[in-house]
Amino acid sequence: MMRAVAIGWITAAAALAQVPELPAGLGGQEPEKAGEPTLPSGLGGQEPGLPSGLGGGDEAGQHEQQADPADEPEAGWAERWRFGGFFDVRAGARTQRDPYERDASVGEARLRLEAEGAFDSLIARLAGDLIADNLQRGWGPDLETGEGCFDLREANVAISPWSTVDLKVGRQALTWGTGDLLFINDLFPKDWVSFLTGRDTEYLKAPSDAIRAGFFTDLANLEIVYTPRFDPDRFVRGERLSYFNPILGRRAGRDAIQDPLVRDRWFEDDEVAMRLSRNVGGYELAAYGYWGRWKSPAGFDMTAGRGTFPRLAVYGASARTQLAGGIANVEVGYYDSRQDADGDDALIDNSQLRGLIGFERDLPELAHGLTAGMQYYFEAMMGHDEYLSTLPSGGTARDEVRHVVTARLSKLLLEQRLRLSLFAFYSPSDSDAYLRPSASYAIDDSWTAAVGANVFVGRDQHTFFGQFENDSNVFLSLRMSF
């Protein structure tokens, strides 16, 4: 009898243990196993002890610009506009003497101020740098070259008049094409001086004053950029970097500052650039067209003794896709030098065919935060025989084909605070090279310090990188963003 009772009791107890409503004590289960997490608030468990206003403790010290969207009635002035910018101090010096230049390669303080206003149908952006530059020509600002005490970086308005059309009008940075620091179909103005003297990579792109229109359809996307007044590159003139001067037949700098004939007539000296793109089966395909002028002086006016920007048309195409865990790309472009179609005008650069093929990949197999890329690029001069036949005596001849390979290596360390980077250009045909090593460290969310170098080596003084051999420099910078 007693045994039957015991068995019955045990069975009953076991059955009761399956019923969730009964307290955990009944049925012999332990209340909580070791390691079992407490339920977060919201799942019926104990409060994990958060301060009221979830995450309130995290927000101490943050300066929020925007109002809480939940109770934003009508956006007032303070909510429409957002401001930001940075303060950047930069100093650099040559690593060797240059007879035609100062020892300092860069020495400046920049205060960038940015404002963005978001209205119902448009967004307005304004950004500019106030500059104190040790090496500047004068304090007066020049809106085109960015010299002086002020450089206007952005002044534009973006609207979408129809659902398939985007327009951006005014001063803006523009980029397309698939190359990594190599440009074939990107004919937008570039600031080579900033690039070669150690300013932040952002400054490689000089701003354009243009109208950008994008038409987006299921068939393809078409982007057209109309620049009503020619925007040349901010190219090397000799004020800050010495270069090879073909007239003098040697390197020159501040003793022979380039002062080309300016092309500045509105709507007559204009440029049109176009990109038609479409994704087909995982390939990003694009076709490009450009009608304008060579962006750096590619011609010479004997009467005036000054450089010129001859007319240029570029036709090209690119394809890009994911491949083997990385990105592979190929791009070609034909540079039609309109004023020297036969190639026999000694004073105007000949037409060219340019191409590149590249591949970039993260390498998690080796380390996290490690990226590597390689490119092969060539420039083939059209009409090389004509070029040689009209070359002035004593002139150094350019090769028919210039080959360049590039390599990029970058590594993130210390929880992505430290970024080490190396970009190298090497031309086996020119026997010259350009190395860009750099390290940047995020001290905190606002402050970043960087150090880097621009190293030029070359067998000859007349080749593209070799000419800058006396310009090799190192630089330091400190930036506070707000």
Partner 1 sequence: MKRPVQSSLFHLVLLAMATTPAFAQEKTAPTEPTVEQIVAAANRVGYYQGRDGRAQVKMVIVDGQGRERVREMTILRRDQPAAAAGETAGGAKVEADDSYCGEQRFYVRFKRPADVDKTTFLVWKRPGEDDSRWLYLPALDLVKPISAADKRSSFVGSNFYYEDVSGRHIAADTHELIETTKDYYVIRSVPKDAKSAEFAAYKMWIHRASSVVVKVEYRDDKDEVYRTYEALAVDQVQGYPTVTKAKMTDLRSKGHTIVTYTDVAYDLDLPEEIFTERYLRQAPRRYMR
Helix ranges (H only) for 105-161 are none
With binding defined as CB under 8 A, does residue 9 bind partner 1? yes
Report the residue number, 419 or 462, with the smaller CB distance to partner 1: 419
With binding defined as CB under 8 A, does residue 123 bind partner 1? yes
**What single-letter DSSP state applies at residue 227?**
E
| Cα(246)–Cα(350) distance, integer angstroms | 16
Least distance in Å: CB of 387 to partner 1? Answer: 34
| Cα(132)–Cα(150) distance, integer angstroms | 9
Report the residue number, 70 or 219, with the smaller CB distance to partner 1: 70
Contacts of 142 (CB under 8 A, 6+ apart): 148
Which CA distances in Å does 4 have to 7, 8, 9, 205, 242? 5, 6, 8, 91, 106
Choice from 417, 428, 449, 459 touching partner 1 (CB under 8 A): 417
| 437-468 residues labelled b (16+ CB within 10 A) or e (exposed) | bbebebeeeeebebebebbbebeebbbbbbbb
Choice from 89, 104, 113, 173 touching partner 1 (CB under 8 A): 173
Selected range binding partner 1 among 90-98, 292-300, 422-430, 438-446, rule: CB under 8 A: 438-446
Contact map string, positions 325 to 354, toward partner 1, x by CB under 8 A: xxx---------------------------
With binding defined as CB under 8 A, does residue 172 bind partner 1? yes
Choice from 344, 360, 399, 400 touching partner 1 (CB under 8 A): 360
Interactions with partner 1, residue window 372-401 (CB under 8 A)? none
Contact map string, positions 17 to 36, toward partner 1, x by CB under 8 A: -xxxx--x----x---x-xx
- The span from the first CA to the last CA of the chain, in angstroms, equals 84
Report the residue number, 20 or 73, with the smaller CB distance to partner 1: 20
With binding defined as CB under 8 A, does residue 53 bind partner 1? no
| Cα(83)–Cα(220) distance, integer angstroms | 35
Choice from 26, 28, 39, 247 touching partner 1 (CB under 8 A): 39
Contacts of 222 (CB under 8 A, 6+ apart): 214, 215, 274, 275, 276, 277
Interactions with partner 1, residue window 224-283 (CB under 8 A)? none
Residue 148, sorted as left (phi over 0), alpha (psi -120 to 50) or beta, turns out to be: left
Report the residue number, 186 or 345, with the smaller CB distance to partner 1: 186
Choice from 361, 402, 408, 411 touching partner 1 (CB under 8 A): 361
Report the residue number, 159 or 476, with the smaller CB distance to partner 1: 159
Interactions with partner 1, residue window 84-103 (CB under 8 A)? 84, 86
Residue 239 amino acid letter: E
Report the residue number, 216 or 315, with the smaller CB distance to partner 1: 216
Report the residue number, 302 or 365, with the smaller CB distance to partner 1: 365
| Cα(293)–Cα(229) distance, integer angstroms | 11
Quickly count: other Cβ atoms within 10 Å of residue 382's Cβ: 19
Contact map string, positions 131 to 160, toward partner 1, x by CB under 8 A: ---------------------------x-x
Report the residue number, 165 or 247, with the smaller CB distance to partner 1: 165
With binding defined as CB under 8 A, does residue 16 bind partner 1? yes
Which CA distances in Å does 473 have to 68, 107, 133, 241? 48, 12, 17, 10
Least distance in Å: CB of 392 to partner 1? Answer: 39
Report the residue number, 184 or 380, with the smaller CB distance to partner 1: 184
**What single-letter DSSP state applies at residue 37?**
P
Least distance in Å: CB of 450 to partner 1? Answer: 12
With binding defined as CB under 8 A, does residue 161 bind partner 1? no
Interactions with partner 1, residue window 278-317 (CB under 8 A)? 284
| Cα(448)–Cα(441) distance, integer angstroms | 6
Dmax (CA) for the chain in angstroms is 127
Choice from 142, 239, 344, 362 touching partner 1 (CB under 8 A): 362
- From the centroid of its chain, how far is CA 445? 21
Kind of pairing between the strands at 326-337 and 473-481: unpaired
Choice from 28, 99, 305, 364 touching partner 1 (CB under 8 A): 364
Choice from 126, 182, 204, 380 touching partner 1 (CB under 8 A): 204
For the chain, state the CA radius of gyration.
31
Whether the Cβ atoms of residue 459 and residue 466 lie closer than 8 Å to each other: yes
